[in-house]
Amino acid sequence: MKRRSISTTAIAAIIIVIIIVVAGVAGYYYYMNMQAKKSKPQVVKIAVLLPYVVNDYGWDQDMYQAIAQIASVYHINYTVDQNIGYSTSAVESALEYYASNGYNIIVAWTVGWQQEILTVAPNYPNVWFIGADLTNFTNPSTGQPEKNVVSISIDLIDGAYAAGVLAAFLTKTGIIGYQAGFSYPTEVAIGNAFLQGALSVNKSIKLVYDFTGT
C-alpha cells in the first residue's frame, strides 16, 4: 500500500488547529486560576500572641524566633503581641482585636488559653486559631467542635511519661514531685503522665504536686 503524502496546506491546517486547542486550554486554566485567586485572601496576616516576653529564654522566645524565620522565607506579614498574661478578659480582648482586624491566622501560644480560644473562635469562622497542646475543641455553648481551631502538639505528655519512668528508678523514698504553673488541663495531664510513667515501674510510688499560680 502506498503512503499518501500530506500537502503543505493540510500540515498548516493541523498546526492551526493545534494552536487553537492549546490556546483554548491555556485560556481555560488561566481563567480558572484567576477565579481561584479572587476567592482567596490576597494577603496572609499572622498574629502571634504570647503570654510573656519574647526574650524569656524559653517558650515565648522559641515561638518569636520561629515565626521570624518562617516570615523571612515566605515573606509573611506578621505581628507579635507579647506579655498578654493569663487574664481571661485580656486574652479574649486580644483574640477579638486581631480577628476583627484582618488577620487570617492567630497563634495563641500557650497551653492556658484553651477556653478563651473556644469562646472567640465561633465569632470568626474565616480566621484560623492555633493553640498549643489543646485537649478540647468543643465550644461550651453549642457543644459542637470548632472547625477553625487547631493545635500544635508539643508532645509534653510523652516526655512526662518518660520522665516518670526515670524518676521511679532514681527516687530513694518512693515519693516523686511535680510542680507546674497553673492547673490547666494540659498541665494536669502532664502531671498524670508523669505519675503513670513512675507507676509502670513501681506501683507503690506516691506523687506530691503543686500549682504555683505563676
Residue extents of the structural domains in the chain: 9-40, 45-152, 156-211
pLDDT on residue 153: 81
What SS3 class is residue 78? strand
| Domain 45-152 sits in CATH 3.40.50.2300 | yes
Say whether pTM exceeds 0.85: no
Determine the pLDDT at residue 171: 96
Distance separating alpha carbons of residues 198 and 192, to the nearest angstrom: 10
90: helix, strand or coil: helix
Q: Please report the pLDDT score of residue 155 as a whole number.
A: 78
Q: How many CB atoms lie within 10 A of CB 139?
A: 15
Reported residue count of the chain is 214
User: Would you state the pLDDT for residue 2?
Assistant: 43
Dump pLDDT digits (tens) for 147-159: 999 988 877 889 9
Amino acid at 193: A
Instruction: Cell numbers for 13, please give them.
Output: 491546517
Counting as low any pLDDT under 50, the low residues of the chain are 1-6, 10-11, 13-15, 17-19, 21-22, 41
**What pLDDT digit, counting tens, does each position of 125-148 carry?**
999 999 988 888 887 777 888 899
Q: Among residues 197, 140, 213, which one has the least CA distance to residue 205?
A: 197
User: What pLDDT sits at residue 28?
Assistant: 58
| Whether the Cβ atoms of residue 64 and residue 48 lie closer than 8 Å to each other | yes
Cα-trace Rg, the chain: 28
Residue 34: CA atoms inside 13 Å, Cβ hemisphere, count? 6
Identify whether the C-beta of residue 33 lies closer than 8 Å to the C-beta of residue 40: no
